[in-house]
Amino acid sequence: MGPSPSALGAPVERREGRAKVTGAAKYATEYAPPGRVHAWPVPATVARGKVVSFDVSAALALPGVLAVLTPESAARLADAGDPTLAVLQDSQVPHHGWPVALAVAETLETARAAAGAVRVRYATEPHDVTLTRDHPQAYSPEEVNGGHPGERRQGDPEGAFADAAVRVDVSYAVPPLHNHPMEPHGATALWQDDVLTVFDSSQGGDTVRAVLAKLFTLPEERVSVVCEHVGGGFGSKGTPRPHVVLAALAARHTGRPVQLTLSRRELTELVGHRAPTLHRVRLGARPDGTLTSLIHEATTHTSRVKEFVEQAAVPARVMYAGGSSRTSHRVVALDVPTPSWMRAPGETPGMYALESAVDELACALGMDPIDLRVCNEPPAEPDSGRPFSSRHLVECLRDGAARFGWAERDPRSGVRRSGPWLTGTGVAAATYPVLLSPSRATVTAHPDGLYVVRLNATDIGTGARTVLTQIAAEALGVGVESVRTEIGVTGLPRAPLAGGSAGTASWGWAVHEACRSLAGQLADRSGPLPPGGLTASADTEGTANAESPYARHAFGAHFAEVAVDTDTGEVRVRRLLGVYAAGRILNARTARSQFIGGMVMGLGMALTEGGSVDPASGAFIGSDLAGYHVPSHADVPAIEAHWIDEKDPHLNPMGSKGIGEIGIVGTAAAIGNAVHHATGVRFRELPLTPDRVHV
């Protein structure tokens, strides 16, 4: 007998696929409670200052307008630890696009017109929205995103660099990037007898509930959050964003269910962005390629609302052996929208810089870039000294090289010409940490043979619902058709958010434990099940989040082939290939989709994506999908994603690492390195658009 089609690893189709393609799947603003009305924010049109006065008379005069909420009329919110959610609480304007008022009306069109009719008078102050390498207000933060120390130092990196036989000292720039999930952020909120219900587009309903309960000073039991289907998030929906708070404020104020969807342009200023990063990387090596010094300094911005520091120098603490290192961050608070998580925060811009610099070092050494990486493979995590739970970077590089045809590569750059095209290939490594959070889950065996798994996980389009069903089926020893998985609403067993590539591992651990417990009980018992079935539960608090003696990370290798049009400077990717070592792959179909999705997003970062801040107004401009260029189909070539069979007993009962983010991590560097191989010119500022590449 072959493996069951429901076995973990099988390419099981998304359980909600039919509902999605037929439109039956409901997203946050597709719920229409009776009496539902619409809200539209009034964004600040200045970057710094305060609101002096509002004139809402024209807005209120429009037929169908119910209210215009301002800091004077909106309910007071308690502190929930996230100042980006303190909307309509005071007259301060911390950045362009900050919501200063909110129009509520019977129809969407009226709400929008009313928001446009609100007249706002500002007292403006001079603003600063421009990040520079030597900004006078830049400081060294104690801690960066992810709880990492802002600076780490090993040995004497400056001295080792000065003494190194071969050195590179290079700077890179990554612009602001926007998440732009297909479904914009939106929520439907209603109050019934002091119970708040929200349908939200979020990566974690329990987090939304906890935060709303704090903001509105309610016990959590009086807040209910539904996130049944979510059209992508990439980090921008990781924690509650202002839209859900605004919807809840408006619903409380008007006594009507309120729906609010942010426009594509509003997303860029209200839900976070990947902050721009300026990198300086210094690598020193012996002539044989052995690294003796690694210094990675990252400078970034945050807002004046709260400190968020992209941990761009952190991946360098994981990657390479070598005596001395310094990895440090500087940040400056500017009058800009608050940055936040975007797919592989830290790793993505950090590995772009580090892996580009490694490629530059390989060129300086006259060494193959794969060989250079292999010869600096560390025996343990360089910064912490902890052993790796598993690390198969070298296997990924070797396997990818074989599949890609790397052995035939001519290392010379700028020599492969065909008509106007110069072609080249590049490689880069990737890493992403294994993160885990505690979760609860229950599973019930029903007399009719159905098993129902319950936990408040969120499927943001990744296939979580499907893979949790597979985990349950395997642990129960039944087929997936016998398992129903209920997720996406508070009241189900508490579960962490879908983020940090940790969702499946965290939820799956609890599901696995509950199912193994139930299977044990079923094995011990005879006779029919009670009418209500038999339920087992699990809570991984204390186990899933226990400190591990191991350094746990996924690794990967990216390969890219590009063609550069010498007439125009247009760069087109011809091939992308990734090989990943991410523990056990739980669903071949959805995993491939995640890897490829990450690689496409990395392609966009390399070639087409970049936010622009208008210096005069402090606004992100041109940031709809016509102006902010995510890759089109024509940009995306044949992409291959492979993985190696990695067995790691130090992770979770499934043996899996996260896969949602590692696909993006090294893609931009691989493409940039290929562009150098094609042209012989090193471009160090992304994206690689014709204005930069055309010479």
Residue with token string 């974690």 = 204
In the sheet that holds 119-124, the strands lie side by side as 92-93, 49-55, 119-124
Binding to another protein in span 389-428, by CB under 8 A? 420
- Contact characters 18-47, another protein, x per CB under 8 A: -------------------------x-x--
Would the CA dihedral through 4, 7, 10, 15 be positive or negative? positive
Q: Tell me whether residue 656 or residue 667 sits nearer to another protein (CB atom).
A: 667
Contact (Cβ atoms closer than 8 angstroms) between residue 36 and residue 259: yes
**Per-residue interface string for the shown chain with another protein, residues 536-565, x marking contact by CB under 8 A:** ------------------------------
Among 29, 84, 110, 268, binds another protein (CB under 8 A): 110
Question: Phi and psi for 159 in degrees, rounded to 5?
Answer: -65, -45
Nearer to another protein, 420 or 520 (CB): 420
Q: What is the DSSP string of 523-574?
A: HT--SPPPTT-EEEEEE-TTTTTSPPSSEEEEEEEEEEEEEEETTT--EEEE
Q: Which is nearer to another protein, 182 or 634 (CB)?
A: 634
- The residue count for binding another protein (CB under 8 A) is 43
Residue 11 in contact with another protein, rule: CB under 8 A: no
Residue 692 C-beta: closest distance to another protein, Å: 8
Closest distance to another protein from the beta carbon of 127 (Å): 14
Residue from the set 13, 90, 567, 645 that interacts with another protein by CB under 8 A: 567
Burial 288-301 (b: 16+ CB within 10 A, else e): ebbbbbbbbbbbbb
- Min separation Cβ 590 and another protein, Å: 27
CB of 605 to another protein, least distance (A): 13
569 part of the interface to another protein, by CB under 8 A? yes
Nearest-approach distance from CB 137 to another protein, in angstroms: 23
Q: What are phi and psi of 24, to 5 degrees?
A: -75, -25
| Residue span binding another protein (CB under 8 A) among the ranges 112-120, 171-179, 280-288, 370-378 | 112-120
According to the binding rule CB under 8 A, does residue 55 interact with another protein?
Answer: no
Query: Which of positions 627-656 make contact with another protein (CB under 8 A)?
Result: 627, 629, 631-635
Nearest CB to another protein, comparing residues 90 and 109 = 109
Q: Which of 426, 454, 282, 427 is nearest to 357 (CA)?
A: 282
**Cβ distance 439 to 540 under 8 Å?**
yes
> C-beta of 113: minimal distance to another protein in Å?
4
Cβ closest to another protein, residue 58 vs residue 375: 58
Of 325, 344, 435, nearest in space to 383 by CA: 325
Q: How far is the CB of 569 from another protein (least distance, A)?
A: 7
Cβ distance to another protein smaller for residue 479 or 627:
627
DSSP string, 113-142: HHHHH-EEEEEE--------TT-TT-B--S
Whats the size of the chain, residue-wise? 695
What is the closest distance, in whole angstroms, from the C-beta atom of residue 561 to another protein in the complex? 15
Among positions 13, 55, 79, 109, the unique one binding another protein when judged by CB under 8 A = 109
Helix ranges restricted to H, 477-614? 503-523, 588-607
> Is residue 125 among the annotated active site residues?
no
Nearer to another protein, 169 or 624 (CB): 624
Rounded least distance, CB 564 to another protein, Å: 12
Q: Residue 487 or residue 563: which is nearer to another protein going by CB?
A: 563
Nearest to 88 by CA among 97, 103, 99: 99
**5 contributes a contact to another protein by CB under 8 A:** no
Using the rule CB under 8 A, give the single segment among 232-240, 363-371, 490-498, 622-630 that binds another protein: 622-630
Chain residues 575-614 in contact with another protein, contact rule CB under 8 A: 607-608, 612-614
CB 413 within 8 A of CB 677: yes
Contact of 133 with 141, CB cutoff 8 Å:
no
List CB contacts of 63: < 8 A, sequence separation 6 or more: 110
Pick 633 or 647: Cβ nearer another protein: 633
Structure tokens at 282: 């210094």
Exactly one of 307, 355, 661, 685 is catalytic; which is it? 661
Q: Report the distance separating Cα 363 and Cα 222, nearest Å.
A: 61
Q: Where are the beta strands (DSSP E) in 286-318?
A: 291-303
Sketch the per residue contact string, 290 through 329, with another protein: x for CB under 8 A, - otherwise.
----------------------------------------
**Residue 116 in the binding site for another protein (CB under 8 A):** yes
With a CB cutoff of 8 Å and minimum separation 6, the contacts of 438 are 496, 506, 510, 539, 540, 541, 542, 543, 544, 545
CA–CA separation, 219 and 222 (whole Å): 6
Q: List 417's β-bridge partners, or say none.
A: 422
Alpha-carbon gap, residue 297 to 508, rounded angstroms: 37
How many helices (H) and strands (E) would you count in the chain? 17, 29
Separation CA 275–CA 489 (nearest Å): 32
| Residue 685 touches another protein, criterion: CB under 8 A | no
Question: Residues interacting with another protein, by CB under 8 A?
Answer: 43, 45, 62, 64, 107, 109-110, 112-114, 116, 420, 567-570, 572, 607-608, 612-617, 619, 621-622, 626-627, 629, 631-635, 687, 689-692, 694-695
Catalytic residues: 661
